[in-house]
Amino acid sequence: MKNILSLSFLFIVALAFSQTKSKGFAVHSTDGKFQPYEFNRHAVGDNEIKIDILYAGICHSDVHHVRGDWGKEEYPMVPGHEIAGKVSAVGKNVTKFKVGDYAGVGCLVNSCGHCEYCKAGLEQYCKEAVLTYHDHDQFHNNETTQGGYSNNIVLTEKFAIKIPKNADLKKVAPLLCAGITTYSPIHYAGVKKGNKVGVAGFGGLGHMAVQYLVKLGAEVTVFDITEDKRADAKRFGAVKYVNVNNPEDLKDLDNKLSFVISTIPANYDPNLYLKMLNINGQMAIVGLPPFEKMPIIPIDKLIWQGNRKVFGSQIGGIPETQEMLDYSVANNIYPEVEIIPATANSIENAYQKVLDGKVKFRYVIDMQTMK
């Protein structure tokens, strides 16, 4: 008995020493106030890598999680699932990375690896998928996962994305969420050159969707609720901009588009866009408002707009995320970012701009400036 107690004590001491010390910025309630926060991540396992985080994007869904818009959350919470950094340690079995490589992390850090979704490279739908933050990691003693507004992260190499050496690193982080979330449904829907398509909501996700669609050779119409983004839409290559608050703009749009992607993170009427689809047209829904404002599709609208398909899409699997990152860098497709310093105050200011719809188009925290 005494021996067992001694061994347990040694194990706990060893565990404490081998854990990864981390620091970042956390909220402690739905009030959205950030504070410096020190915490432990698990030790770097044999198949894992440690990434020193250089840049972390601010996604609208970070704001939703911080505010508890999608249900009760646990605090303290370090948000951030758009991560770009440099590998600083590798486990003994790691083959994909070496120390000094650049690596990215998106919304996922692990999954079961053997279910039909994992086998199909759609790990985001795995029932045991571990989210980068606001989750518990059942593969590591149910550790609370904490995100990218921090100085490092530890995860299995499988879920880390290789960042090409020639990438514009400060712009890469948002590709891991905003990039893959739009890239995946655009390719799933089979958009082709010459297709007339729509992008509803022209923010962080929307401006990525426009770039991928323009690159494919589609004719893009952008929809948003303000005049402020009209020039930007044209600058990104859209052929048309529709301010949906302007009735004149909404004329003659029915049955014109073969594909619409809705990135809108607020309440809206999906039927406005369903009506715009032409025969066999498809609508992808990726934007997600707070639960109490969730838009609905009455099934009769689907029947009257028959032969139009609607589908939801959640980020993308790991193989497709790597494909998206390689494609984006090769084609010089990046988010338009505003780099902000790693202080509680600058993060809070950025959140307010996101809530006010004033962000153009993505805030990225320079984690190297954290004190």
Contact between 306 and a copy of itself per CB under 8 A: yes
Q: How distant, in Å, are the alpha carbons of 16, 110, 370 from that of 154?
A: 15, 11, 19
Pairwise CA distance, residues 160 & 163, whole Å: 9
Q: How far is the CB of 301 from a copy of itself (least distance, A)?
A: 8
Range in contact with a copy of itself (rule: CB under 8 A) among 34-42, 285-293, 328-336, 350-358:
285-293
Helix (H, G, I), strand (E, B) or coil at 233: helix
With CB under 8 A as the contact rule, the residue among 7, 15, 16, 296 that binds a copy of itself is 296
Q: Interface mask (CB under 8 A) for a copy of itself, residues 312-331, using x and -?
A: xxx-----------------
Residue 141, class by beta-carbon neighbours within 10 Å (0-12 exposed, 13-18 middle, 19+ buried)?
A: exposed
Contact between 365 and a copy of itself per CB under 8 A: no
Range in contact with a copy of itself (rule: CB under 8 A) among 133-141, 161-169, 210-218, 286-294:
286-294
How many residues of this chain interact with a copy of itself, rule: CB under 8 A? 38
Q: How far is the CB of 304 from a copy of itself (least distance, A)?
A: 7
Q: How far is the CB of 252 from a copy of itself (least distance, A)?
A: 14
With CB under 8 A as the contact rule, the residue among 112, 266, 302, 344 that binds a copy of itself is 302
Contact criterion met (CB below 8 Å) for 130 and 153:
no
Count of alpha carbons within 13 angstroms of residue 12, beta-carbon side? 5
Contact criterion met (CB below 8 Å) for 285 and 313:
yes
Q: Interface mask (CB under 8 A) for a copy of itself, residues 226-265, using x and -?
A: -----------------------------x------x---
Q: What is the residue whose two structure tokens read 């983004």?
A: 229
Positions 102 through 131 that interact with a copy of itself (CB under 8 A): 116-117, 120, 122, 124-125
Contact between 303 and a copy of itself per CB under 8 A: yes
Q: How distant, in Å, are the alpha carbons of 125, 130, 315, 323 from that of 112?
A: 11, 9, 18, 22
Backbone angles phi, psi at 116, to 5 degrees: -60, -30
With CB under 8 A as the contact rule, the residue among 40, 144, 278, 343 that binds a copy of itself is 278
Positions 141 through 200 that interact with a copy of itself (CB under 8 A): 188
Q: Nearer Cβ to a copy of itself, position 164 or 190?
A: 190
Q: Which residues contact 253 (CB under 8 A, 6 or more apart)?
A: 221, 242, 275, 276
Question: What does the binding site for a copy of itself look like in residue numbers (CB under 8 A)?
Answer: 116-117, 120, 122, 124-125, 188, 255, 262, 270, 278-279, 282, 285-286, 288, 291, 294-314
